[in-house]
Structure 1
Amino acid sequence: MLRLMPRMVSTAKRIKIPAALDGFDLAPRHLSLLSYLLFDGPTGVNALAERLEVAPATVSLMVGDLSRQGILERGEDPSDRRRTIVSIAEAHLPAIRAWLAVGAEAWHRALEPLTPRERTLVVDVMAAYEREASATRRG
């Protein structure tokens, strides 16, 4: 795993950003946020913060940045006007879908031969690694 993880990260970083998104200030931290919005659809800031395991203020900053660039749109929740719903701007949806599809398809092919229980185990092990590495880094 120690030899494999750096290669996996390097491979993920080399996935080309589509030309349609080239001029935007996109960073790896935006990938998870965009992934949730792409696969789960429009979502509230608090729900995004919970999924990303960061503070709502952090998500608000990212959403604000991407909204100013025109990548994301913010709107009112029709059922609770105090709540903001975030979505990917329609104009950028095809490019973001193409960008994120590379990794999603690779994971799908890699996990497809596994049983549901084995898939869960793989995800649980990777999450445990991330937690432990983060805890060690924090000291």
Structure 2
Amino acid sequence: MSTPAPADNTVRELLLLMPRLIGRAKRMRPPAEIRSLDLAPRHLSLLSLLLLDGPQTVSQLAEQLGVAPTTVSLIVSDLSRKGVLSRREDEDDRRRRIVDISPASRPAISQWLSPGARAWRRALQPLTPPQRRIVVDTLLAYEAAFAELSGEPPED
């Protein structure tokens, strides 16, 4: 019997690890205050950016999320109607709106999403910046390859 290639061993480890990671993330139930809002993954990415980076414009959010501004506008409108986000006029350019997590929702959003950010910080802390970039680039390459090989359309 032949010995598996080192890459095969790594693939095996990752195939066993990924379902555990996904399962653990799915078990992170939102706090009761926001549980009824039916938040989807697209909401979580936007909320994470606002939690980590603070208030931003729709254009800034769209650029960071890699989606069209109209997509972000729809998400922002949806979450604003639900009271999760607030919008205010940009003092530097009154035509633009600044989006942020509403003060009433911030504690629940933070309670829900902060453990994931803290876990990533702890896991990445011992790595150098170039090593961290390799981790992110590898996950992005995996996502792209998975989408291509499974015939999924690109996300937007």
TM-score by length of 1: 0.91
Show the 5 A alignment for 1:1-139: 1-136=14-149, 137-138=152-153
Structure 2 residue ranges without an equivalent (≥5): 1-13
The one-letter amino acid paired with 2:127 is L
Give the drift of 1:15.
0.8
Provide the alpha-carbon RMSD of the alignment. 1.5
Q: Which has the higher contact order (CA 8 A, sep 6+)?
A: 1
| Residues in 2 aligned to 1:15 and 1:74: alpha-carbon distance in whole angstroms | 27
CA contact (8 A) 2:29 2:35 kept: no
Aligned residues: 139
**Structure richer in strand, relative to its length:** 1
Give the drift of 1:92.
1.0
CA contact (8 A) 1:15 1:102 kept: no
Bigger shift: residues 20-29 or 43-52: 20-29
Percent of aligned positions with the same letter in both sequences? Answer: 57
| Residues in 1 aligned to 2:84 and 2:55: alpha-carbon distance in whole angstroms | 13
Give the drift of 1:66.
0.4
Give the drift of 1:28.
1.9
| Residues in 1 aligned to 2:95 and 2:83: alpha-carbon distance in whole angstroms | 22
Bigger shift: residues 26-35 or 109-118: 109-118
The one-letter amino acid paired with 1:84 is R
Residue-by-residue CA offset, 1:106-128 (whole Å, 9 max, x unaligned): 11121122222211211111122
CA contact (8 A) 1:76 1:83 kept: yes
Asked which structure has the greater CA Rg, the reply is: 2
